[in-house]
Structure 1
Amino acid sequence: MMKVLKNTFLLFVIALTLIKCKSVPKLQKEAPTSLKEAYSQKWNAGYKDGVSGTDLYIRLHDKSIILDSVYFKEHVVKLKRVSTDSLLFVGRLKINTKITSNLKQTSFSTFQINDRECIISYKKEANMSLQYYKISNIIMRQPINYPSSPRKI
């Protein structure tokens, strides 16, 4: 009985290890051809106890990929298409709010980046599996000080 239980436990551990190894995302070595530029811009709401944060903008050359999420400055946020520009996506990181992303539960937790890098997740239209790419040398633009909360995206 103990031998059967021991073997079952061993098989369970091996299966978990294999599943975990398979689920570790890998960075693409080549940039998606549709990436054009990436820049960030800090912003501050101009009232007491106002929210502040950083917006990360990613512009595409064309619509051959679909941007999903971004890991930037220890935050994971969904990228949203800007309504006035179909090739521009933005991720809004709110700094002093009670909402925080749980990085340990995301696929981004395995990546190491600095303050001028981000990891994007995206899908190619031909291949709908999620892929990852590190963008380096993100341009930092001058901060914006809003008189109130920033406009909706």
Structure 2
Amino acid sequence: MINYFKSTLLLLCLFSLSLIAESCGSTQISNNIMFEANPPFTIKEAYFQKWVAGTKEGGAGTKVHLVFKSIGPEVALKEIYFQNQIQKVQKASNSGYDYFAEFDSNTRSNIIMDIDPMKEAQNTPSQNFPFELQENEAVVSYLFNDKTNYFKIINLSEKERIAYPQSNPNLRN
């Protein structure tokens, strides 16, 4: 009876230790994705800016800006993860160190709803968001040495919202 009790206690302890070991790792997140602590670039400024069009059809959204102090030619920026959305990184045309991603506030407005299943099949499935981020945090994915890496940016500043005019003022008489 005592051996049975010891065996049960030992199994219970091993099971508990395995659960604790599974949950450890402060930089590890879901899907076994790890954040890079020392990326091959330096970010000078990171911010987001909401915008709204002057007409209802024009929409609204948020633009995330990344200004790098240094970034090597061997680094290929891929995507920005922000507020439960994923967008490709684009290079700003005015500078070699400015990048951005645009997030539409109305992301699912282009869903095709039709009685014909072939037309509905054209819808792109929504992506699972792999990170738990605060409102002012983002993750940038990049290729370096043929490997995809992830870097978490905390405390993005928010700049004043841009409200675009209803129409082009230069076209008025």
Q: TM-score, normalised by structure 2?
A: 0.63
5+ residue gaps, structure 1, are 1-22
Q: CA deviation at 1:85?
A: 1.3
Q: TM-score, normalised by structure 1?
A: 0.70
CA distance in 1, matches of 2:39, 2:53: 34
Which structure: larger Rg? Answer: 2
* Percent identity over paired residues: 29
1:25 to 2:49 alignment: no
Aligned residue type for 1:102: S
Aligned residue type for 1:146: Y
Q: CA RMSD in A?
A: 2.2
Aligned pair count?
121
Aligned residue type for 2:78: D
CA distance in 2, matches of 1:119, 1:140: 16
5+ residue gaps, structure 2, are 1-30, 111-123, 168-173
1:144 to 2:162 alignment: yes
CA distance in 1, matches of 2:136, 2:50: 13
CA distance in 1, matches of 2:93, 2:146: 23
1:59 to 2:67 alignment: yes
Higher relative contact order (CA closer than 8 Å, sequence separation 6+): 1
Spell out, residue by residue over 1:3-58, the C-alpha distance to the aligned partner (whole angstroms, 9 max, x if none): xxxxxxxxxxxxxxxxxxxx632111234432221100000010133210000000
1:49 match: secondary structure: helix
110, 123, 137: which one pairs with 2:130?
110
Aligned residue type for 1:120: V
More off after superposition, 39-48 vs 23-32: 23-32
Contact 2:71 2:97 in 1 (8 A): yes
Aligned residue type for 1:66: A
Aligned residue type for 1:58: L
CA distance in 2, matches of 1:110, 1:90: 20
2:147 match: secondary structure: coil
CA distance in 1, matches of 2:67, 2:130: 25
15, 37, 42: which one pairs with 1:34?
42
Question: After the TM superposition, which parts of structure 1 deviate over 4 Å for at least 4 consecutive aligned residues?
Answer: none
Equivalent position of 1:133 in the other structure: 151
Aligned residue type for 1:50: G
Aligned residue type for 2:131: F
Equivalent position of 2:142 in the other structure: 122
1:110 match: secondary structure: coil
Higher strand share: 1
Aligned residue type for 2:140: I
